Chain A
Amino acid sequence: MSADTKQNLITQNTITIDGQEIPFQAGQTIMDAALAAGVYIPHLCHRQGLTPHGSCKLCVVDIASRSASSHNSNRRLQAKFAVDADSRSASACTMPAVAGQQISNNTPALNEVRKTITQMLFIEGNHICPSCEKCGDCTLQAMAYHLGMLDGHFPQFFQHREVDASHPTIMLDRDRCILCELCVRASREVDGKNVFAIAGRGINAHLVVNSASGKLVDSDLETSDMAAHICPVGAILIKEHGYEVPIGQRTFDLHQVSEIGLEKIILTKARQPDE
């Protein structure tokens, strides 16, 4: 077996993330492959099983070369020229894995960009954690901890968006919505209901309810729906179930956001907060 063929076998259907070789199956995104291999790429709007969305941009990675060939001479050429020139940033959740991709993920530069994105999310809404029922169970907050965010850096927008408390068991605080569309997708793709949508343009984009009145009470959203529990922040809340978990036992008191497979724990906890 020549050196070239051997190289071919190794790089076939693998990508490299921070120097670690990771296998992937055709059709998988970089995010899919990374999560399957136990490699954490920060994300807020991604959820396994739902159509990728690409809005939060936290999963941004640098791809040194999408066309890195297994051919040795070519590789040498690329090492010489391509590292910076060919490097591009992409969302890992929407970018298909392609054999030979050299991906940077957990780097100080990318984490700094991610921190800035998280700060933008914090100042854009009214994220007053001390008064939020989702505090300690909030993925956005846990992400900010993970990235070492100390402050919002930018001026607060102090948005004023409508609270919808019309539904008997579920409420909507749009001030905390990060437009991840997890509820939109969960409702359409899992619950088969189409309760939510995003309307408006630019900074005025906001979560709307697909009912004639626009009110949650007139939708067919039920407490048992995935859409009622999937919200990663405190925007969709189950009424009368706030502050049930003692401080110290909340999801992110016990777990790091970077743990793989945490989504299941979060969802279970959201459905049965006392467990």
Chain B
Amino acid sequence: MSKIRIATTSLAGCFGCHMSFLDMDERLVALLEHVEFNRSPFTDIKHCGPCDIGLIEGGVCNVENVHVLREFRDNCKILIAVGACAINGGVPAMRNHFNLRECLEEAYVNGVGVVNPQIPNDVELPLLLDKVHPIHDVVRVDYYLPGCPPSADAFLNILGDLLAGKEPSLPNNLLHYD
């Protein structure tokens, strides 16, 4: 039987959800008998190919996030919003209280110790969106895995259900938003 293909990415995330995924420790070995990773920070694959499951960490804060998210949606049969940021914008969405220019000026112009103050504007750099968005503002999401981050058990639970062909359900003891 061919392995289930999983792609993962971090958009406006902190990689904490990926770390929590790795917190399944030696259970990863057993998992890897059933799954293989496509595009992911864990692999060197640059673009998402056809996959069964896409795990998205982080909200959407810049245009590159939008492109990556759409690439994942186009290629993944099941897309899962992982963690508080992907689900409701999370802590990064606290910048939605300020306008973007204020944020950039505070960091790059008026910040303490800034040398050669200027807002970076190279075309290589993705432009920030005016607001941080949950990923379901941009693409359709199939399942949500809450937590900041979700525990390794929660990852195992949702992947276990999907590998078994079952509708994922999160038991109450694994449900938390913090």
Identify the closest chain B residue to A130 (Cβ). B148
Q: Number of B residues contacting the other chain (C-beta, 8 Å)? A: 28
Flag if B94 contacts A155 (CB, 8 Å): no
Q: B51 interface residue, CB < 8 Å from A?
A: no
Q: B76 interface residue, CB < 8 Å from A?
A: no
Q: A126 interface residue, CB < 8 Å from B?
A: yes
Identify the closest chain A residue to B84 (Cβ). A130
Q: A275 interface residue, CB < 8 Å from B?
A: no
Q: How many Å lie between the Cα of A141 and that of B97 in the bound state?
A: 22
Flag if B178 contacts A136 (CB, 8 Å): yes
- Using known A-B contacts A150-B144, A158-B93, determine if residue A141 contacts B172 with beta carbons closer than 8 Å: no
The interface bits of chain A over 41-82 (1 if a CB of B lies within 8 angstroms of the residue's CB, else 0) are: 000000000000000000000000000000000000000000
Residues facing A in B83-134 (CB within 8 A) are 84, 87-91, 93-94, 96-97, 131, 133-134
Q: A196 interface residue, CB < 8 Å from B?
A: no
- Using known A-B contacts A136-B178, A141-B177, A156-B134, determine if residue A128 contacts B91 with beta carbons closer than 8 Å: yes
Flag if B88 contacts A128 (CB, 8 Å): yes
Identify the closest chain A residue to B131 (Cβ). A158
Binding site for B on A (CB under 8 A): 122-123, 126-132, 135-136, 141, 144-145, 148, 150-152, 155-156, 158, 160, 247
Q: B55 interface residue, CB < 8 Å from A?
A: no
In the complex, chain B residues whose CB is within 8 Å of the CB of A155: 137
What is the distance, in angstroms, from A149's C-beta to the closest C-beta of chain B? 8
Flag if B134 contacts A150 (CB, 8 Å): no
Flag if A156 contacts B148 (CB, 8 Å): no
In the complex, chain B residues whose CB is within 8 Å of the CB of A148: 170, 172, 175
Residues facing A in B119-178 (CB within 8 A) are 131, 133-134, 136-137, 141, 143-146, 148, 170, 172, 175-178
- If A128-B90, A129-B178 are given as contacts, then 7 extra A-B residue pairs at C-beta distance below 8 Å, sorted by A number, are A122-B88, A128-B91, A130-B177, A148-B172, A150-B146, A151-B141, A158-B96
Flag if A145 contacts B89 (CB, 8 Å): no
Flag if A152 contacts B91 (CB, 8 Å): no
A-B pairs with lowest CB-CB distance, top 4: A130-B148, A129-B177, A151-B144, A150-B144
Identify the closest chain A residue to B83 (Cβ). A130
In the complex, chain A residues whose CB is within 8 Å of the CB of B144: 150-151
Which of A131, A144, A158 is most buried by chain B, counting CB atoms within 10 A of its CB?
A158
In the complex, chain B residues whose CB is within 8 Å of the CB of A160: 96-97
Identify the closest chain A residue to B173 (Cβ). A145
Q: Which of A129, A136, A144, A150 contacts B170 (CB 8 A)?
A: A150
Q: B11 interface residue, CB < 8 Å from A?
A: no
Identify the closest chain B residue to A127 (Cβ). B88
29 contacts between A and B (CB under 8 A): A123-B88, A126-B93, A128-B84, A128-B88, A128-B89, A128-B90, A128-B91, A128-B93, A129-B148, A129-B178, A130-B84, A130-B91, A130-B177, A130-B178, A141-B177, A145-B176, A150-B87, A150-B146, A151-B87, A151-B88, A151-B141, A151-B146, A152-B87, A152-B88, A152-B134, A155-B137, A156-B134, A158-B93, A160-B96
What is the distance, in angstroms, from B144's C-beta to the closest C-beta of chain A? 4
In the complex, chain A residues whose CB is within 8 Å of the CB of B141: 151
Flag if B136 contacts A151 (CB, 8 Å): yes
Flag if A129 contacts B96 (CB, 8 Å): no
Identify the closest chain A residue to B91 (Cβ). A131
Which of A131, A144, A156, A247 is most buried by chain B, counting CB atoms within 10 A of its CB?
A156
Identify the closest chain A residue to B59 (Cβ). A156
Q: How many Å lie between the Cα of A247 and that of B147 in the bound state?
A: 14
In the complex, chain A residues whose CB is within 8 Å of the CB of B145: 150
